[in-house]
Structure 1
Amino acid sequence: MGRLEGKVAIVIGAGQSPGQGMGNGRAVCLRFAEEGAKILAVDRDLASAEETAAMARPDSGGAVKASAADVTNGASLGRAIAEAVRLWGRLDILYYNVGVSIAGGDTILSEVTEEAFDRVHAINLRGAVMAAKHAVPIMREQGSGVILNVSSMSAIETTYPFVSYRTSKAGLIAFTQQLAMQNAAYGIRANAILPGLMDTPMAVDTRSRATGRPREEVAAERDARVPLRGRMGTAWDVAHAALFLASDEAGFITGIALPVDGGALNRIG
């Protein structure tokens, strides 16, 4: 315990989609709070962010606040980051967890529309760029900071069928590497996390609703594609990886794209 003691984190995408289980952003908030971080839990849906903050507060001594921001609006992200600094005087960790695929209208190349492509990229990639734009000057002045972007194994899986999600998440890896190299001299680390097949509301319940198939059927199909134990990962698997990368234990690690995928990468080589 206490691996993030004294650290201030802003988690963008701290709420979650409707459905069973827990999303990545919520699990990260809870895990960071357990380890002593002060957290601003940010989401477009303030009620969902408030729910996450309430769940995290027992482990944080009350130092978890909720805030609303629209990731498609750079000024909105800037206000959220400024709020974290106003509350606690610094910013140690920026965690960008927002992503949309099917719910944003993404589909295969022959059917994708300009509107869906732009919407997915505005949320998945441009939002991360704008959040970093506001966070980096603060971290540079401090001489330290950690930026974690949640990409996806779909960025490197050649069989992934949907155009917008894959390209936006691949772009996020490239941006994270650029962040790492351009800010290493200032003591800022930047890394990406690549979740594989996860049992989260966004990944499973959204697909169930979009296809009209039972959740159990969608989950079983995804489980069968995972090498490790034939079972999807959970939000806690992502949260544990995020905790390591956010902590001083990863103090010499920057510019990586870490798969959390149950061995799926080995099928690519």
Structure 2
Amino acid sequence: MRGQRIAGKVALVVGAGQSEGATVGNGRAAALLMAREGAAVVAVDRNEASAEETAKAIADEGGRALAVRADVTSEADIEAAVTACVDAYGRLDILHNNVGVAAAAAGDAPVTEIEPEAFSRIVAVNLRGMVLTCKHALPVMREQGSGVIINIASNAVLINYPNVGYRTSKAGVLSLTEHVAAANAAYGIRANAVLPGLMETPMAVEPRMRKSGARREEVVAERNARVPLRHPGGTAWDVARAALFLASDEAAFITGASLVVDGGQSLMAG
């Protein structure tokens, strides 16, 4: 079903591709849902083929989309992606930052065991990348006198998460979001964060299947058992719907907020 909640808007979705898996990832779900609700989407990912798959899926549904390859650790790539967005559609209304790397991919560990290089890599992707996308998107939005930035953080900042890199970088995302919101409110720009919990996405489930040798349903069931509101468990669509709300005029008076989407997991942290 197609709607009009962000009709006529242009959304730059960073991390719009995904790793291989049986379900949809957070970035692709956000890109698809925003397109279904009327936005033109620029699907950005370091994996160009995956970004193109997202753009094709949008086009196959009758939407408008452009795929752009960019690595968030490269400022030149980010600047080029923003330029490509404005060149193609004339504006930039929604910046959706969905980039993140966690333990399996980056060597995250507890603070007493973390290697400096691993910590630097995690911060470069999870936090520095969002700083740079905001840096280059904000001048466009300021010139327009409007814009929305949505940063995907994590409920790892609220629970007893074991690894220092992911938790601290995602905590930085919350501070970044508040900073951007305060510094740009006078320009009509809003910035908010979404804090997902245990979602059934390829990045979350498939690596655990490979590491443990367990079946998909076993991995998913174990994760769902840690969530109070577990029938059914969370998916990328839950995160995408939260982002869509924050991007829409329904959230026109909301900025600097952190929206937790975790089925109540963080309520049990104590």
Please report the TM-score for the alignment, with normalisation by the length of structure 1: 0.96
- The code of the aligned residue for 1:219 comes to V
**Within 5 A, what are the aligned runs for 1:163-178?**
163-178=164-179
Could you tell me whether the CA contact under 8 Å between 1:152 and 1:169 is conserved in 2? yes
% identical equivalent positions: 58
Aligned twin of 1:246: 247
1:218 equivalent to 2:219? Answer: yes
| Alpha-carbon displacement from aligned partner over 1:51-95 (angstroms, at most 9, x marks no partner) | 11111113344x101010011011110100110000011000000
| Alpha-carbon displacement from aligned partner over 1:31-60 (angstroms, at most 9, x marks no partner) | 001011001000000000111111111334
Aligned twin of 1:118: 120
Q: How many Å separate the matches in 1 of 2:241 and 2:235?
A: 10
2:66 partner SS: strand
CA RMSD in angstroms comes to 1.3
Q: How many Å separate the matches in 2 of 1:264 and 1:13?
A: 25
Aligned twin of 2:203: 202
What count of residue pairs does the alignment treat as equivalent? 267
| Alpha-carbon displacement from aligned partner over 1:96-137 (angstroms, at most 9, x marks no partner) | 001011211112223211111011110000000000000001
- The code of the aligned residue for 1:137 comes to P
**Within 5 A, what are the aligned runs for 1:173-192?**
173-192=174-193
2:241 partner SS: helix
Aligned twin of 1:97: 98
Unaligned runs of 5+ in 1: none
1:192 partner SS: strand
Could you tell me whether the CA contact under 8 Å between 1:7 and 1:92 is conserved in 2? yes
190-199 or 17-26, larger mean C-alpha shift = 17-26
Q: How many Å separate the matches in 1 of 2:247 and 2:61?
A: 18
1:147 partner SS: strand
CA distance change for structure 1 residues 49 and 150 in 2, over 3 Å: closer, same or farther?
same
1:85 partner SS: helix
Aligned twin of 2:38: 36
CA distance change for structure 1 residues 105 and 213 in 2, over 3 Å: closer, same or farther?
farther
2:41 partner SS: strand
Q: How many Å separate the matches in 2 of 1:263 and 1:60?
A: 36
- The code of the aligned residue for 1:14 comes to A
Q: How many Å separate the matches in 2 of 1:48 and 1:240?
A: 21
1:220 Cα offset (Å): 1.7
1:230 Cα offset (Å): 5.0
- The code of the aligned residue for 2:115 comes to T
Aligned twin of 1:129: 131
Unaligned runs of 5+ in 2: none
1:212 Cα offset (Å): 4.4
- The code of the aligned residue for 1:164 comes to G
Q: How many Å separate the matches in 2 of 1:215 and 1:109?
A: 30
Aligned twin of 1:260: 261
Aligned twin of 2:228: 227
1:18 Cα offset (Å): 1.8
1:25 corresponds to which of 15, 24, 27: 27
Q: How many Å separate the matches in 1 of 2:228 and 2:40?
A: 36
Please report the TM-score for the alignment, with normalisation by the length of structure 2: 0.95
Aligned twin of 2:151: 149
